Amino acid sequence: TWADKEVPISEGSSVTTTKTYMENYKNVSQDIRDQLNAEAEGVQIIRTGIDNDIYSTVDACPNACEIKFTSRDGESLESYYLRFYKIMNELVRNQCDVTNHLVNVQFLLQLQPEWQRSVTLVKQSQELKTVSYHKLYDILKQHQNEVNELRAERIERTANPLALVAQQQPIYHPQ
């Protein structure tokens, strides 16, 4: 193998030797120290400044710029927006470069199904490459009543039919 071969030393050349050492905080460059400090600060901010579910979302990603975010069943638009806003702030703090278009698409696509009609209207009326997700949130808020009605209809359709039967039948009272 190549490791077994001796390297010939020509006359007049200076012989060099290689030395291995363990890198640690003290013997790395200032740039690497700054990066390590920034990462440690980011982790500390995440641990102390946001909810456990958001921290877990960020922590589970090999690259914080590739966060998978979704809304929760029955979650209000305001709650969804606030969680999304916190994660976006963490991405900015960690200097992740995410395009505005990608942020907006992620924001719109992860809403609950009852928002689908409103999302389609927003996509048709807004330029997702330039508008901010804050503006999208403001636009979507205008559709909140319609979405609440859709959510109520969905709950009504999927409600337990036995509960409805129990309400309609007279209750037996022995005398």
Note whether 107 and 84 are within 8 A (CB). yes
The tens digit of pLDDT for each residue in 23-36 reads 777 788 888 888 87
The listed range with the strongest mean pLDDT (11-15, 42-46, 105-109) is 105-109
Q: Give CA torsion, residues 72, 75, 77, 82, to 10 deg.
A: -70
In a domain, 22, yes or no: no
Q: Distance between terminal CA atoms of the chain?
A: 100
The listed range with the strongest mean pLDDT (101-105, 159-163, 164-168) is 101-105
163 is written with which tokens? 């509960």
Mean of the pLDDT values across residues 95-107?
84
153 is written with which tokens? 């209809």
Angle at 167 between CA 165 and CA 168, to 5 degrees: 65
In a domain, 44, yes or no: yes
In a domain, 71, yes or no: yes
Arithmetic mean of pLDDT over the chain: 76
Please say if the pLDDT value at position 96 is more than 60.
yes
In a domain, 116, yes or no: yes
User: What DSSP designation does 65 have?
Assistant: G
User: How many domains does one find in the chain?
Assistant: 1
Tokens 């005398």 belong to residue: 175
Can you give the residue range of the structural domain that contains 57? 28-144
In a domain, 131, yes or no: yes
100 is written with which tokens? 């505005």
42 is written with which tokens? 């980011």
